[in-house]
Chains A and B, each alone.
Chain A
């Protein structure tokens, strides 16, 4: 693959993939520690109706109404889940299951029923994304990176995911202490006056926005792999939250890069001619990293989680 082909066909998808993975891995760290990993499962299902509604209202796929729709459906979903949990004293997993499967079915119905033939919004796309198609026709060589006219024709998904990833990173930095405090000891954080419920809620909303921004890259379901695998692998590497977050970003980037490369070039190496799904491969690589961490990670053991009673 020549340099110009790379810039044209692979550079942008790679960058988008990496940014999407990082944008999901960051909030995923806290979801994991709060035992809310499956809310990533819920979020990636419920953003579908939000995205479809946003698309139906605005008429295009790559716009802010989609993000707003997704955030909106995340809010609705969280409210519904809490209602079911409190009212019926139903365990959180089942409450989530009821809400997100129904919302997802609603999203599929909307999708199949509305006319989406004009844009590439179909169920398969919604499920596993379309990373390979985000090519940069004007990127004829490396020098195009400095050419304003060529840059103006970058796929719109790139600045979108870049902004979301930057926003997620900045928010994580600014609210680091309240996040850490409320995740570690919710009761105590409340006594300090921290708005614990609001923090939890905001975390879910931010994760939803990241999920939607990643939607174009990997579709709604593989986002879960991004929420969980890099942070889980990172958790097994260290006992400090700061290091865990850094590890998770590194793992997310590796998964995105290796996944894309394997999907695009792997088949060529074994003699086949067509690429395979980049999104699927990214998830597989993320899973492989996590498996390695489960087998060899220095802090993988169950450790002493139950305090011993002295005599």
Chain B
């Protein structure tokens, strides 16, 4: 089994598998990068509405093709139909949320389910029309990678590359609009047109992904990579590239895994690989990851209690909070009976002085930036210059020792 896996990774597992893998990798990259912008625009779930709204269009396109005498399996035509009904769905979402008091989330949910329901009705109509040959439209629900034709793969690859090129070209505008639409307008970027472009790209990715992973799972490829990428970086450009990378990797790994185990459906495997990458990101990413956050919080918690406790010691006040006492004890600053040690008294004196200096600093410094940087994690020496501190010390006198 490991050998087949290795073969799959190296594109040696068969013609079909290689085609699928290339397609899903490109799809993953395109979906990840495009999805980042709707994620930043805080409208991630509109992709769910777009995806579900494609179904009636596919059905109608099929019926039109059959009526025109074809067999209804013309991929570009079906996808064109899907794009049209997805577009109508988008318009419906906008109309509902602008013309009525309903919020956008209600509009998205309504369009999603009603269009999908309509599509299902059409599906059952088609099933009765073409008895004997299942229309295979169910394939668009969950994707069907078996028996993929070469020109289908070429079409998907070309579309994927086109989407990527447009993402690169438009990324600056889309970033500005996502971050601050007001500012974007003021520098001459049309928010409406940029939003339109974003939606069109989303639709393109959705439509392209219909064949490979199906409409229900394409949403995952648009949403999970950007969210995962968010944990690794605070810069938009980086998030876009990392999201593309994560998407592409999931596509590649997922397709390879599914090729080595042929009875497993490709779409769900790709999504689950993507989720695994997300889980790794949320747990281990430095700065925003779970572990990093936990360590930071505990350090901060300790620091706050330590400072409070030392101040209380310095002022001769009783410490009421048992957590504070235990933090001080563990740091060797108080003894078991609550009396300060040598080290404790020294630290208390230092903290008291720091606190007094900050009192004065707040009075004499009119610069708010200075005031705002007092966040108790930084001693004043890190924030002010030596001569500024000397000026403060002049006013408060020499350091005091803390009595035992």
Contacts and interface: CB of A to CB of B under 8 A. Distances in A.
Interface in B98-143: 99-103, 105-106, 108-110, 112-121, 123-125, 128, 138, 141-142
B245 interface: no
Nearest to A266: B121
A267 B124 CA distance: 11
B113 A221 contact: yes
Interface residues of B, number: 63
A94 B271 CA distance: 15
Interface string A266-298: 010000111111011111101100100010010
A113 B101 contact: no
A127 B264 contact: no
Nearest to B128: A274
A107 to B, nearest CB: 8
Interface string B41-56: 0111101100010000
A284 B118 contact: yes
B263 A113 contact: yes
Contacts of B106: 32, 37, 228, 232
Contacts of B48: 38, 41, 97
Contact of A277 (B102, B121, B220): B121
Contacts of B128: 272-274, 276
Q: What's the dominant secondary structure at chain A's contact region?
A: helix
A35 interface: yes
A261 B195 CA distance: 41
Nearest to A299: B101
B264 A113 contact: yes
Interface string B316-332: 00000000000000000
A276 B42 contact: no
Most chain-A CB neighbours within 10 Å: which of B52, B109, B141, B230?
B109
Interface string A213-242: 000000001111101110010011000000
B113 A224 contact: yes
Given A123-B141, A280-B124, A87 B110 contact: no
A93 B45 contact: yes
A221 B111 CA distance: 12
Contacts of A225: 110, 113-114, 117
A301 interface: yes
B231 A101 contact: no
B219 A101 contact: yes
A286 B231 CA distance: 40
A93 B44 contact: yes
A232 B223 contact: no
Contacts of B282: 83-84, 87-88
Contacts of B95: 294
A136 interface: no
B161 interface: no
A299 to B, nearest CB: 7
Most chain-B CB neighbours within 10 Å: which of A32, A128, A282?
A128
B217 interface: yes
Given A263-B121, A276-B125, A277-B121, A301 B101 contact: yes
Nearest to B95: A294
B132 to A, nearest CB: 14
Nearest to B261: A113
A101 B271 contact: yes
Contact of B100 (A36, A105, A236, A272): A236
B120 A222 contact: yes
Interface string B238-266: 00000000000000000000000001110
Contact of B45 (A97, A267, A300): A97
Contacts of A101: 217, 219-220, 223-224, 271
Interface size classification for chain A: 35 or more
A307 to B, nearest CB: 15
A282 B121 CA distance: 10
B275 interface: yes
Nearest to A303: B101
B109 A105 contact: no
B120 A287 contact: no
Given A279-B120, A280-B119, A229 B271 contact: no
B141 A127 contact: yes
A128 B119 CA distance: 11
A232 B282 CA distance: 35
Most chain-A CB neighbours within 10 Å: which of B105, B119, B267?
B105
Contacts of A273: 128
Given A87-B288, A102-B272, A280-B120, A287 B141 contact: no
A202 interface: no
A277 B123 CA distance: 8
Given A88-B231, A102-B271, A229-B114, A281 B101 contact: no
Interface in A92-128: 93-98, 101-102, 104-106, 108-109, 112-113, 123-124, 127-128
A105 B105 contact: no
A142 to B, nearest CB: 30
B215 to A, nearest CB: 11
Given A98-B224, A232-B106, 4 more contacts: A93-B43, A108-B267, A123-B141, A284-B114
Interface of A: 32, 35-38, 40-41, 83-84, 87-88, 90-91, 93-98, 101-102, 104-106, 108-109, 112-113, 123-124, 127-128, 221-225, 227-229, 232, 235-236, 263, 267, 272-277, 279-284, 286-287, 290, 294, 297, 299-303, 305
12 contacts: A37-B105, A41-B48, A87-B288, A93-B42, A97-B45, A101-B271, A102-B271, A109-B269, A224-B113, A236-B101, A283-B116, A287-B115
> Can you list the 10 inter-chain pairs with the closest CB atoms, starting with the nearest?
A283-B117, A287-B114, A280-B120, A225-B113, A101-B220, A105-B271, A97-B223, A280-B121, A102-B275, A94-B44
